[in-house]
Chains A and B, each alone.
Chain A
Amino acid sequence: MYEFDWSSIPGALPTLARGLLVTLQVTLVAVAVGIAWGTALAVARLSPQAWLRWPAAAYVNLFRSVPLVMVILWFYLVVPQLLRRFLGVSSATDIRMVSALAAFALFESAYYAEIIRAGIQSVPKGQLDAALALGLTPAQAMRRVVLPQAFRNMLPLLLTQAIILFQDTSLVYVIGLADFFGAAYKVGDRDGRLVELVLFAGLVYFLASLAASALVRRLRRRVTA
């Protein structure tokens, strides 16, 4: 029978906290960029202009058709080369954080774009007609009338996607970035207490996601009410 020994956790808390900070950082940046860039992609996909529609559709379909873990790895392998060549970043700079942020932000944008596109389509066409009839340009109508209603309708879905993203950030372990999961793994490996540390990390992910899901349920009730 395996004997649990949790004694290495209290001493490791500062390391784990630093890891959690990386996890939150990647999550927040990916959500913020994902929603902003995803909105642009969604509007482009719904545009009457083919030259906007096609590249946006290609982007979204490409990123939705490849595994996230591969995107993270590609960015890690390719981005540093590009940065070094074009920006003259020295090879000593830790490029893992930058490439992880870029990979998550660009990958999640594709998923956010689909959620936001559905949200825009959930706003009745009469609303757009009314905004245009008042003399608003299509861009003003989108910004002032359609998008505010679309975001209100899709807020629960956006947050659900953020929870999935929060869990998916653990995939940065493939490039050796010490996020919360990576930090837990390292401490466990060092102290020979991998089972305890990974269980503990799982519990933290579980509780955080559970709390966020409860928030989403409350929001959903308010939105549908």
Chain B
Amino acid sequence: MGANMPDLSQDQIRAQLESLGFAVFDEDLPEITHRVNALHEALVNLDDPEIDSIEPLPIFWLAEEK
């Protein structure tokens, strides 16, 4: 995924959700679309030189517990 990931359209969002078995109310679709595009864009643009060497363990203290 590159930094210029294009926004998804409302029709694309609806199709993706329906493919997962979710019905979509018409009044929800604009906000869901904004949310998806915002989340994607913001995450795509995050970067750090160490990102490939990190092991993403979500429970931190286990490594410290005696």
A and B assemble together: no
